[in-house]
Amino acid sequence: MVQYDGRDSAVREAGIPVKVFDDYETLSREVAGMVDRVVRENPGVAITLPTGETPRGMYNELVQRINAGDLDFSTVHFFCLDDYLGASIDDPTSLTAWLNEVFLTPANLHGDHVHFVPTTSPDPDAAAIAYEAEIQALGGFRLAVLGLGPNGHIGFNEPGSSPDARTRVVHLTDESRTQNAQYYEGTPTIPDQAMTIGLGTLLEAGEIVLLVSGASKAEILKASLEGPMTPDVPGSFLRLAGDRVTVMADREAASALS
């Protein structure tokens, strides 16, 4: 288990590679390449990948490799990272529906190796515990590719989250709900609760990739990597994983880093 004593240290902050790429296309291709390598070297392992506009290019690249027969994803246990409470794959505003459209269906990935967040369970708290147990039964994550929210959230681990937190039901901030509503046409209603894999589970992954793109993420990336390690910026806790973390960003996202 990752431990946090509330103090930054040079040891914790050292050794986190930051790879900066000239453009979004190159960034997406390189992150897809890391996923490709892990899957080839570790068939049968558990991984989690994010939703949102930033990883769309990565998914497009993975779909091309899978459909060309260059990459076999069939033995991978793929765990969805988060979704809105009560949302299902049939809900057009759910993150699972987005993932199904962008990645799972184009890559023909369905079946027992795809694990959906149990957001529609009549007992969501018990379902979250069971989902966590599924991850642990497979030895935890070999790879976690993560995005960074505008307020520093990782998955739906919002500000205030503990670095030891496990899969659970969370309350979404108004900022996150407003941001996510922009992904859809019209004025969709974004639920005020979600279920997410916890920071503690993600920080134990064998490899962690933080995927960040765009000038709008520059300041929060700087806060995550160079500011205080604090629950106010959940992304800052990635430093607890040390050299198991690789930050991969385009030049716009990395523009504020010193």
Which pLDDT score, from 0 to 100, does residue 3 have?
Answer: 42
Structure tokens at 139: 């030895």
Burial of 206 from C-beta contacts in 10 A (0-12 / 13-18 / 19+): middle
| C-alpha span between 178 and 150 (Å, rounded) | 11
pLDDT > 90? residue 1: no
> Which residues are part of the catalytic machinery?
82, 151, 153, 158
Domain ranges of the chain: 15-193+203-214+228-245
- Could you tell me the maximum CA-CA distance found in the chain, to the nearest angstrom? 48
Model confidence pLDDT, tens digit, residues 142-194 = 999 999 999 999 999 999 999 999 999 999 988 888 777 666 666 677 889 99
Confidence class for position 7, pLDDT limits 50, 70, 90: very low
Above 80 in pLDDT, residue 109?
Answer: yes
**Structure-block tokens of residue 119:** 């957001």
State pLDDT tens for residues 68-106: 999 999 999 999 999 999 999 999 889 999 999 999 999
| 3-state helix/strand/coil string of the chain | CCCCCCCCCHHHHCCCCEEEECCHHHHHHHHHHHHHHHHHHCCCCEEEECCCCCCHHHHHHHHHHHHCCCCCCCCCEEEECEEECCCCCCCCCCHHHHHHHHHHCCCCCCCCCEECCCCCCCCHHHHHHHHHHHHHHCCCEEEEEECCCCCCCECCECCCCCCCCCCEEEECCHHHHHHHHCCCCCCCCCCCEEEECCHHHHHCCCEEEEEECCHHHHHHHHHHHHCCCCCCCHHHHHHHHHHHEEEEEECCCCCCCC
pLDDT in tens, 42-58: 999 999 999 999 999 99
- pLDDT of residue 2 exceeding 60, the answer is no
| Torsion, Cα of 177, 146, 220, 235 (10° steps) | 100
* Strand order through the sheet with 193-196: 82-84, 193-196, 168-171
Question: What mean pLDDT, rounded, does the chain reach?
Answer: 92
CA triplet 236, 237, 241: central angle to 5 degrees?
120
pLDDT > 70? residue 15 = no
Q: Residue 233 has what pLDDT?
A: 98
pLDDT recorded at residue 161: 97
User: Cα separation of 89 and 98, whole Å?
Assistant: 8
Residues 189-200: pLDDT tens digits?
788 999 999 999
Is residue 163 within 8 Å of residue 4, measured between CB atoms?
yes
Q: Please say whether the beta carbons of 205 and 141 come within 8 A.
A: yes
User: In this model, does residue 39 exceed pLDDT 90?
Assistant: yes
Distance CA 165, CA 177 (A): 21
Q: Would you say residue 12 has pLDDT above 70?
A: no
User: Tell me: domain 15-193+203-214+228-245, CATH 3.40.50.1360, correct?
Assistant: yes
Provide the whole-model pTM.
Answer: 0.92
